[in-house]
Amino acid sequence: MRVALYQCPPLPLDVAGNLQRLHQLALEAKGADLLVVPEMFLTGYNIGVDAVSVLAEVNNGESAQQIARIAKSAGIAILYGYPERTEDGQIYNAVQLIDANGERLCNYRKTHLFGDLDHSMFSPGADDFPLVELNGWKLGFLICYDLEFPENARRLALAGAELILVPTANMIPYDFIADVTVRARAFENQCYVAYANYCGHEDEIHYCGQSSIAAPDGSRIAQAGLDEALIVGELDRQLMEDSRAANRYFLDRRPELYGDLNKR
């Protein structure tokens, strides 16, 4: 499966503009099976409580329907970030996967909120860590800060994830996350990790770019720098199987020793 990541400066508060560039991207990524864009791509990330409240949409709302049409017309699955409003009025930092037929496959809500910025705008997601299948690969989802808690990626890997998709809005000075943590999560969980970040700045936030796709052996199969880029990597099942055969992490685990970790 070929996976494309779009690293870009945010277009805050411009839903129409972001939908337009998503349409263009879907055409440019022709030949890829999946296009992944950053966290809160639809509206921008650092937009404030009032704007999030106005721009939040239900998961089958107007923007979702338009993205479904884009995915179907371009023949590519799309994972995008957006603010989700539920029937009870809660607002979540969410990502949604729509397949190449325009069908909604999965909606995931960020479970670990980052700092005052996230906590002021969003409710935390519950304990649902869905897995879906796309083109024969089992996909799991995390959003930005979620990846920094090793339990999240391990939970997905133990459930069978072969690719963990991570739309993010990671900023300086946390660029070591993009450089080190992404590859570490891929290696320690023996799966691919695709990390789609912003570049440029949004008010006082300066994004660190460095979007990448990390392989189960800890290598990178695609890597962006600090500027806008569309990168593509091809997942190799044989590489994953060879890496899993050579790495004994899952065989050598001793879960009977780890129970107390969940009690603290």
Task: Note if 110 is an active site residue.
Answer: yes
Give the three-state DSSP class for 259. Answer: helix
Residue partners of 69: CB distance under 8 A and separation at least 6? 102
160-199 burial, b if ≥16 CB within 10 A, otherwise e? ebbbbbbbbbbbeebbebbeebbbbbbbbbbbbbbbbbbb
Tokens of 255: 């879960």
Q: Is the dihedral of CA 73, 74, 78, 84 positive or negative?
A: negative
Distances (CA, A) of 111 to 147, 187, 239, 262: 10, 23, 31, 16
Q: Other C-beta atoms within 10 Å of 15: how many?
A: 17
Is 263 among the catalytic positions? no
The CA radius of gyration of the chain, in Å to the nearest whole number, is 17
Closest to 195 in 3D by CA, of 155, 222, 225, 168: 168
Distance CA 194, CA 166 (A): 6
**Catalytic entry in 8, 84, 110, 162:** 110
Of residues 39, 57, 162, 202, which has the active-site annotation? Answer: 39
Q: Which of 8, 106, 144, 191 is catalytic?
A: 144
- Joined together, the tokens standing for residue 116 give 């005052």
Active centre residues (catalytic): 39, 110, 144
